[in-house]
């Protein structure tokens, strides 16, 4: 009986250590994913800001409203 308990104890300790190792690996992966998401979010923000600047600074002709001028306005 004592031998069986000792064997089970060793098995549980091994499982516990293996579980700790897996948990540490998952935490490292989670930190890497979090860092990657932060970098991507930053890049998205920069691109959105640059696009907004480009739209305000350099309007496309298709976005520029047409202005009609009558001949009388040209003479005045």
Residue 76: what pLDDT?
47
Q: What is the DSSP string of 12-73?
A: HHHHHHHHHHHHHHHHHHHHHHHHHHHHHHHHHHHHHHHHHHHHHHS--GGGSPP----HHH
Residue 18: what pLDDT?
98
Q: pTM above the 0.95 mark? A: no
Instruction: Output the tens digit of pLDDT for each of the chain's 76 residues.
Output: 999 999 999 999 999 999 999 999 999 999 999 999 999 999 999 999 999 988 876 555 555 555 565 666 555 4
Residue 32: what pLDDT?
96
Cα distance between residue 35 and residue 40, in whole Å: 9
Cα distance between residue 58 and residue 56, in whole Å: 6
């Amino acid at each position: 009986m004592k031998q069986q308990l000792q064997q089970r104890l060793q098995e549980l300790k091994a499982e516990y250590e293996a579980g700790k190792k897996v948990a540490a690996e998952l935490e490292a992966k989670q930190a890497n994913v979090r860092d990657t998401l932060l970098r991507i979010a930053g890049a998205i923000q920069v691109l959105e800001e640059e696009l907004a600047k480009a739209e305000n600074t350099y309007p496309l002709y298709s976005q520029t409203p047409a202005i009609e001028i009558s001949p009388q306005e040209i003479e005045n």
